[in-house]
A and B are shown apart, each in its own frame.
Chain A
Amino acid sequence: MATSKTRRKFDKVLIANRGEIAVRIIQGLREMGLGTVAVYSEVDRTALHVLMADEAVFIGPSPAAESYLVGDKILAAARKTGAGAIHPGYGFLSENGPFSRQVEEAGLVFIGPTAESMEVMGDKLASRRKMRSSGVPVVPGTDEAVTDPEVAIGIAEGIGYPVLLKASAGGGGKGMRIVRESGEMASALRQTMGEAGSAFGNDAIFVEKYIENPKHIEVQVLGDGQGNAIHVFERECSVQRRHQKVIEESPSPSLTPELREKICAAAVQTAAAIDYRGAGTVEFILAPDGEFYFLEMNTRLQVEHPVTEMVTGTDLVHAMVKIALGEGICYRQEDLRQHGWALEFRLYAEDPSRNFAPSIGRIESMTIPQGPGVRLDLGIYEGFDVPIHYDPMLAKLIVWGEDREQAIARSRRVLSEFTLHGPVHNLPFHQWALEQPSFIDGSYTTHFVGEEFDPANWMPELDAGQAEALVAATALFEALRRSGQATDEKNVDCAAGNWRRNALRSMTGNK
């Protein structure tokens, strides 16, 4: 390495996050020879990221609003441990402009973009205006907030129904409503403004064309903060439930080489237009006619960044840290290639049969899949109690194959080897998705789950042989358990003693 450790801008980094992303960032930092500081709330005292860091600082009660979201506590922890930089991960304070500013004003390095970038991209109207003036295609619609139904109807007629009413400050699917004809406009506008006002404290609404059957395509970018930017190709994230992604892949099965070149160039243009610094993601919607439109930019490392890393052989955490160290972008655009195919499956503690309702509890037993093409970004371990206070994502399983077909076949194999007992989880949902024709042929859209998933009838049946084997094994398991219990309680009867001896004989292979 050209820079010696003593001359670096920082040599210890505080990770202002928890769960699998904190673990993944600690791993990246350690590989670069940097010190790591974890922060933790009451309920996370023994969480995996705390166990893995060099140092850990307690920052308060379990609710995020009293710990992971309190900028002052994070900064105090950095000062206490002498960390020279803060990596925010995703969620929590990662896209909080004032926090980024606070970090830099305290003389520390924020591993991410400037507050100005976050603020432009955090405001949907401001980002639309900025992108339109930079020549990036945006969905046809208004650049100004609308409150008058007559004005909204005029705009809708200009761009054609259906249209989408969207809260300027919204996100995650909140504050959105589809309007299919002028008669629906007045009440839809009133309701959306009301929701936006109470949820986001800002009732600005804008009107845009509603794209039917859209694909969600996003492009990974890296910027040096001086107006230079590159892209690290695209990801497709159309498998969503409750407007949240559950399966992502790279490359996208929906792009031709020409379209890929155009959409990636638009992403670079977006990042360069705001002198973007660090790793970011430009999201587009792709209409069935091949037109694509800027949706928003996520000014952080994304949950699904590993699929990009798997197909391009890059390390985005290293790249972010090098940019923060002032070393610039560590890859040259012309050296980057997509090689093979990667799928990411988010492991959530949630019940697909109950509208994906979150679940909690202790991780009783876990068997991790291995073998060719497998990467697992884990935030849990056996014996860990999944807390109720945070996002229920436990881990991300990423599977690489030479092409999409092999990646899907391999994913089926890998998922069949993954066992998790404790909270209800969505691994079987991923198995279901991998059997759906529209997923297999890549034609699925963001309506995939809503249209094809039937919560009452989706779990694949066991075949007759499996069912019988399960019944036999469970009965044997119960017999062994009961005999074990009797022995432990020194309440040995002959029968129980026999059971135990015979089980042992069975284990040693004597029949």
Chain B
Amino acid sequence: MKKRYILNYDENQYGAVVAQDGAETMVQVDDGDMTPVNFRPVLNGKAISIRFGGRLHLIHLTNSGGNGSVQATIGGRPVSLTVMDELRAQALESLGDAAGSGTICADIPGLVFQIKVSRGQIVHKGEPVIVVEAMKMQNELVAAISGTVTEVPVSEGDSVNPGDPLVIIEPEPGA
């Protein structure tokens, strides 16, 4: 069996495939080779020791918020990243080239306060589509492209984390 993840940190996006082949765990990062990895969860689950690229790395990992946001430290450098599982990755993939610009993601942790669009609705670039509330402040997110709303994977009152897709818009043909 295989699991596919999409990870984001800084401005970079990575794809990772984790596969189980008998007793062996294999990992593929981006378009690299599928390679067996030697790793152990250590420090009472707070870190992973992993041999990768001929070096041993001790990587501290903490779930922050429970829904894809991860705080990591490698070599004393803290990194905030998000990790999405295959389902969400597929949702993004189905959008092909428009992925990203047509997908409105949460940029802060918060609660979905108001959804202003529904599936099938045509929206125009710049139109408000959803409101996320964080620390008593309401942040209105707008459509980055014009098109048709194909999916709204959240409901009002849901708690969301940075990177969670909120509204997916398919661009209008020829746009």
Binding site for B on A (CB under 8 A): 364-365, 367, 415-422, 425, 427-428, 431, 459-460, 462, 465-482, 495, 498-499, 502-503, 505-507, 509-511
A478/B85 in contact, CB under 8 A: yes
Q: How far is the CA of A479 from the CA of B77 in the complex (A)?
A: 23
Given A498-B1, A507-B41, A469-B59 contact (CB < 8 Å): yes
Report the minimum CB–CB distance from B81 to chain A (whole Å).
6
What are 26 A-B residue pairs whose CB atoms fall within 8 Å in the complex?
A364-B64, A418-B76, A421-B60, A421-B78, A431-B77, A465-B53, A466-B75, A467-B14, A469-B59, A471-B29, A472-B50, A473-B52, A473-B57, A473-B61, A474-B7, A474-B16, A474-B70, A476-B25, A477-B61, A478-B5, A479-B18, A499-B20, A502-B25, A507-B40, A511-B36, A511-B38
Given A468-B32, A505-B23, A475-B76 contact (CB < 8 Å): no
Inside 8 A of B62's CB, which chain A residues have their CB?
A: 364-365, 421-422
Q: How far is the CA of A470 from the CA of B32 in the complex (A)?
A: 14
Given A469-B52, A469-B59, A471-B14, A427-B76 contact (CB < 8 Å): yes
Report the minimum CB–CB distance from A295 to chain B (whole Å).
34
Q: Which of A365, A476, A506 contacts B46 (CB under 8 A)?
A: A365
Given A416-B75, A419-B73, A476-B50 contact (CB < 8 Å): yes
Does B119 make an interface contact (CB < 8 A)?
A: no
A462/B77 in contact, CB under 8 A: yes
Binding site for A on B (CB under 8 A): 1, 3, 5, 7, 9, 12, 14, 16-18, 20, 23-25, 27, 29, 32, 36-41, 43, 46-48, 50, 52-55, 57, 59-64, 70-79, 81, 83, 85
Given A475-B7, A476-B27, A476-B50, A498-B20 contact (CB < 8 Å): yes
Closest partner residue, chain A, to B5 (CB atom): A475
Closest partner residue, chain B, to A501 (CB atom): B23
Q: Which of A417, A468, A480 has the most CB of B within 10 A?
A: A468
A481/B63 in contact, CB under 8 A: yes
Report the minimum CB–CB distance from A384 to chain B (whole Å).
15
Report the minimum CB–CB distance from B27 to chain A (whole Å).
5
Inside 8 A of A468's CB, which chain B residues have their CB?
A: 29, 32, 52-53
Report the minimum CB–CB distance from A219 to chain B (whole Å).
33
Inside 8 A of A510's CB, which chain B residues have their CB?
A: 23
Inside 8 A of A505's CB, which chain B residues have their CB?
A: 23
Q: Which of B46, B63, B73 has the most CB of A within 10 A?
A: B73
